[in-house]
Structure 1
Amino acid sequence: MEDVYIARVGAQSMNQNTGNKIKALCTAAGLANMVDPGDLTAVKVHFGELGNDAFVSPLHAASVVKEIEAIGAKPFLTDTNTLYLGGRRNAVDHAKTAALHGFCYPVFDCPVIIADGLRGQSFTSVDVYGKHFDAVKIASDIVSADSMVVVSHFKGHEAAGFGGALKNLGMGCASNEGKREQHTTRPMILEDRCILCGACMNACPEFCISIAGKSVSIDLEHCIGCLMCMNTCPEHAIDLDWQDDGVVFVERMIEYASGAVGNKTGKAFYINFLINITPHCDCTPWNDIPFVPDIGILASIDPVALDKACYDLVNGEEGVLGSLLPDHHRPGEEKFTRVWPGTNPELQISYAEEMGLGRGEYRLVEI
């Protein structure tokens, strides 16, 4: 059973401001045991898609960087390029988006390095032992880093149920080709809901969607499974075969997560922000209102225990009326499968345990 440390929201003095909470969390959870002086330390963040402002605040990420620098390590902010259209599909646009969102000097005095290179093609093959892969394609600069601090926004996710540290590792540390290997999900049109608005067609990065007459079709041969069509559809007229595609997506993502930390035993630290707990991934160029109130910030050396604690805490909250959560508003009721019906959020935890990433059992320690 691993300890998961939590600093809850709310403050009545300077000692309780967010920066001091992050400092206390890093100390209590053992950051200094995972990061050594002189380490080139990857600070794995999500810079947020253009149009989204729910991602972890650069001010909060800067507090994490400050603690890494205090150890004597050399941190760099990092993420990987996306498959879909937007502000992060190549390293040039990605770095500009990071700067526009505040991940730049003078907030930080460390560099932004896009870990999979100019076009997402720089990767290192890492052996894994899973159901789907013998080796995974991890961004080269993630593998090359001496240590890694994973800073994650815990929120909903349309295919995985939730996104936290495990998804930040699995999808977030994969190269372009690695993301393609995970996105085997193939969307389908629910014709009774479709209003032929064309939003999905405009969102598709591979131009796989077409409208002819009164029907929409998806070219599944060329579809990359990024699910931007599903995210964009205002009528929820695009869905997945959850029994097969949803399970495979999560399992592949977790196998990639195991590869991301394959050479980081005793050299990885995790912080999850349970703030702005929105329904969608930060990859969407918008964000909806949170479906539960802010809870706090959590840290651990075990990503599985950390995500499980966050999952339990969210379910323990009262749901926000008027959010994408249609019911199950009472504390203790399952939230994620109501926001995203058909998903199986706990599969992330159970398969991550099977892959040796950590344990779902935890002890919550208040600081």
Structure 2
Amino acid sequence: MKAWFFARQLFRWFVVSLIFFMGEARASSDKLTILNWEGYLAPKVVQKFERTNNVEVKQILFDEEADIVPLLEKHKDQVDLVVASTLTMNKLKARGSLLPLEKALLPNTKLIKNRWQSDSDYVVPYTWGTTGFAWRSDRLERGPKNWTEFFSLVERFPGKVALISDPGEYLLAAHFALGNDRPFRTASEVNLAAAYLRGFDGKLRYLESDTSESNPLISGDLVLMQTWNGDAAFLHNHHDARVRYAIPEDGCMIWQDSFAISAEASSPSLAHQFINFMNEGRIAGANASYLGFASSNPLALLYADGDYVNDPIIRPSLAGLDDCYFYDTYPDQVSRAISDSLPERK
């Protein structure tokens, strides 16, 4: 009898231990790792996903778009989700670094319009915006209308005008200032843009994105800068209401960031779950309100706060974007010319 009792207790201990260790194994696997820009997800939204699904969300952060490919290669056994631009997503897809999406697991993405669907088999649109000009109205009565006027102000305010320190951005600005009406088509166009910029050496600055109060536009060290609309909106709404923003009449560019699942994802089902969660109406609205960037999901408008919905910097009229171009993958010769033409400027 006693032997049977101890045998039963031993069996119970074994079962409890097995359940415990299985639970531990499950808990250790319930982690989602996202490769992302810093501050590009609302903390409260992430916390809600963690609480609701009893998971941990970890983010590997980058400061420059060029860091994404090497970081994914370095952490490929950890990263589940990637947030990146269309250009970078195309590179990752070509490298075999992305997992095809299971559409049945993403019902909340059905309302995203075709305008934002760059590659619906691999990516889900997240945010979009424009590249344009920002200035302080107390320093400059009227901002430039086009890129030619932008560069003319470099001569008027030497050292007080800046471009984004991304060759894909500053070379395009020069390209449009030279009178071109569409993005690069040949390597020679890239070389001409690079030569044009060299004419402003010592007068023109190159800066990384910065939405803090130390931004030189806020401190008064800059008069005018090339920037993204979401950054300009943040500077205007949080630091100085005198910040203005405009889209150039020539060379208007639209960027788009998306979610994609890494081909090496350890939790692809959890990654799908997160993307679907981010496209719930209330979640999309709360996240868009926090970010200050336009959401690709129309449901965000129903739940975002009024400042977001009515902000023309964040959400310009779509009709006014008809002549704008989406950033897209260039031919190899153009991409090489962009990489080789100039080192990254600071």
For this structure pair, what is the TM-score category when the shorter chain's length is used for normalisation?
Answer: 0.3 to 0.5
Q: Which of 1 and 2 has greater Rg?
A: 2
Q: TM-score, normalised by structure 1?
A: 0.33
> Which structure carries more relative contact order (alpha carbon 8 Å, separation 6+)?
2
Q: TM-score, normalised by structure 2?
A: 0.34
